[in-house]
């Protein structure tokens, strides 16, 4: 029987993001973010929820880190709120914001928890958005200054840096008619340029770590490429899935990992292709120390007539979480990392997010029996174990998320956490999945 034991130095941990848990939206000089503003627009967020209070982590981080320690969590992916550091995106530095994160990082160290810090997790300062946001080159200059500031300030406390989180989400789905803040529909030219600016910002994040991070500093990025899963493991189906993976995900992975846009992307973009300045790709393609993958669900692909790749639609009753996009496809955690490693020669992969969202998870008699989440995670981790056993270089796994939070357009209705949060009382209750995961981490194997 397979023991599902992981490598002895495997990194186990959890993840969260500032705009989803901190609250204190305007405390101590913090500026307005695009999500603070977007949430006020009628009909944009379920039940009219806002991130104004969220999990009140800003005031409760000591309690939260004690809870992490009690569960044996040793690695925590968090993000810094850009508007807490530079309320207007650039301009005057907010010292209170720097002081808050200094205290937070000190407390993590006291609990023996290693931070993995994301520089940008979707909370662009609203003042920058009013000046054009990701559509303009001004955002590149502002981000470069912001990255230099936080790495210089926290380089002695943070050795694991993540530049950006899911570039297509805050560009394509923010400016291309999606449901992410600021919720605009600007067309392909604007979207492609916004994505390019985000890539250049990633490059500045890498540069900042190399210049100011100090000895032992590592840097990568967190991307959410859609894994393609071959319908069978025949050579033809695997080749079809690999081809679709490359085509669908090359607009971000190709420039970062190869220093260019793919010919296919440029041809498809046509006159809407982004304007690239001299030196952009030198920044974008600086070597990274790891690639972070946020993996939830995948697409099923087969070789159709003549070997032509063909996506298979999910039937109406195909298993999924309450998030309508989150089909239960455990093999995504095998094929996603495998294709990234095979296509791009990546030597170190961290699963920076993986998890599932459900709506109704009540606490009864002090317990939240989320068997569905436990079984979801177990099935995915079996596939991750398979990838590692097959020499795919996955070195860590960070669950999304440590606790229920403000789940963007789904507000507080959808719960992804290992710990239940009562948003009226702010009481945290570790769910069944949290206790199971604590044992997985402790024993370094699946149970």
pLDDT at 63: 98
The answer to the question of residue 157 being in a domain is yes
**Residue 65: predicted pLDDT:** 98
Question: What's the predicted TM-score (pTM) here?
Answer: 0.98
Q: Choose the catalytic residue: 126, 129, 166, 223.
A: 166
pLDDT at 3 (0 to 100): 86
The per-residue DSSP string of 327-390 comes to B--TTHHHHHHHHHHHHH--S-EEEEE----BS----BTTB---HHHHHHHHHHHHHHHHHHHT
What's the CA gap between 260 and 252, in Å, rounded? 10
Domain membership of residue 266 (yes or no) is: no
Distance, in Å, from the CA atom of 193 to the CA atom of 426, rounded to the nearest integer, reads: 41
Query: Residue range 267-294: average pLDDT?
Result: 97
Contact 120, 82 (CB under 8 A): yes
| pLDDT given at position 256 | 98
User: In terms of residue numbers, what domain contains 213?
Assistant: 11-226+289-295+325-443
Q: Does residue 273 form part of some domain?
A: no
Report, as an integer, the average pLDDT of 145-157: 98
Q: How many domains does the chain have?
A: 1
The residue-averaged pLDDT of 408-414 equals 97
Catalytic annotation on 353? yes
Residues 6+ apart with CB under 8 A from 229: 241, 298, 299, 300, 301, 329, 331, 332, 335
Q: What pLDDT is attached to residue 405? A: 98
Which tens digit of pLDDT belongs to each residue from 169-190? 999 999 999 899 999 999 999 9
Q: Does any domain span residue 206?
A: yes
- Residue 377 included in any domain: yes
Confidence band of 360 (pLDDT split at 50, 70, 90): confident
* Per annotation, catalytic residue among 126, 353, 361, 407: 353
Alpha helices, DSSP H, located in 213-278: 235-258, 263-269
Per the domain annotation, does 312 fall within a domain?
no
274 domain residue, yes or no: no
| Mean pLDDT over each residue of the chain, to the nearest integer | 97
The separation between the first and the last C-alpha atoms of the chain, rounded to the nearest angstrom, is 13
- The C-alpha angle 180, 185, 187, rounded to 5 degrees, equals 125
- Give the pLDDT score at 1: 63
Q: Are 161 and 219 in contact (CB under 8 A)?
A: yes
Active site residue 223: no
Q: The domain that contains 78 carries what CATH number? A: 3.20.20.80
Q: Output b/e per residue, 106-125; b: 16+ Cβ within 10 A.
A: eebeebebbbbbbbbbbbbb
Question: Per the domain annotation, does 129 fall within a domain?
Answer: yes
């Amino acid at each position: 029987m397979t023991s599902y034991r992981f490598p002895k130095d495997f990194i186990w941990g959890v993840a969260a993001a500032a705009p989803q848990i901190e609250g204190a939206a305007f405390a101590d000089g913090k500026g307005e973010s695009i999500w603070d503003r977007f949430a006020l627009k009628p009909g944009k967020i379920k039940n009219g929820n806002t991130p104004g209070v969220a999990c009140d982590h800003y005031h409760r981080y000591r309690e939260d880190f004690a809870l992490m320690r009690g569960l044996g969590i040793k690695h925590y992916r968090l993000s810094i709120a850009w508007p807490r550091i530079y309320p207007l995106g650039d301009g005057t530095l907010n010292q209170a914001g720097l002081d808050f994160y200094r205290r937070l990082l000190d407390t993590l160290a006291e609990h023996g928890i290693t931070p993995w810090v994301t520089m940008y997790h979707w909370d662009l300062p609203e003042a920058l958005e009013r000046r054009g946001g990701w559509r303009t080159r001004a955002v590149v200059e502002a981000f470069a200054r912001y990255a230099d500031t936080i790495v210089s300030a926290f380089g002695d406390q943070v050795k694991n840096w993540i530049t950006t989180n899911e570039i297509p989400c805050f560009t394509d789905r923010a400016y291309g008619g999606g449901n992410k803040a600021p919720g605009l529909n600007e067309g392909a030219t604007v979207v492609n340029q916004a994505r390019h600016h985000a890539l250049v910002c990633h490059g500045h994040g890498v540069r900042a770590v190399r210049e100011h991070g100090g000895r032992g500093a590592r840097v990568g990025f967190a991307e959410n490429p859609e894994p393609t899963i071959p319908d069978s493991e025949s050579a033809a189906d695997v080749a079809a899935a690999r081809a679709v993976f490359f085509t669908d995900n090359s607009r971000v992975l190709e420039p970062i990992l190869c220093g260019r846009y793919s010919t296919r992307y440029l041809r498809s973009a046509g006159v809407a292709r982004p304007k690239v300045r001299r030196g952009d790709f030198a920044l974008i393609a600086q070597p990274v120390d790891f690639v972070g993958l946020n993996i939830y669900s995948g697409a099923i692909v087969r070789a159709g007539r003549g070997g032509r790749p063909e996506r298979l639609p999910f039937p109406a009753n195909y298993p999924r979480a309450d998030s309508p996009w989150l089909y239960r496809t455990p093999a995504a955690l095998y094929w996603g990392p495998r294709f990234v490693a095979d296509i791009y020669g990546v030597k170190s992969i961290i699963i920076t997010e993986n998890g599932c969202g459900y709506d109704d998870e009540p606490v009864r008699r002090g317990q939240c029996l989320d068997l569905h989440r436990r079984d979801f995670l177990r099935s995915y981790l079996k596939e991750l174990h398979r990838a590692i056993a097959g020499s795919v270089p996955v070195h860590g796994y960070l669950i999304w998320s440590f606790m229920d939070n403000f789940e963007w357009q789904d507000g507080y209705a959808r719960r992804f956490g290992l710990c239940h949060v009562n948003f009226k009382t702010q009481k945290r209750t570790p769910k069944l999945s949290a206790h199971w995961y604590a044992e997985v981490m402790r024993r370094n194997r699946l149970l």
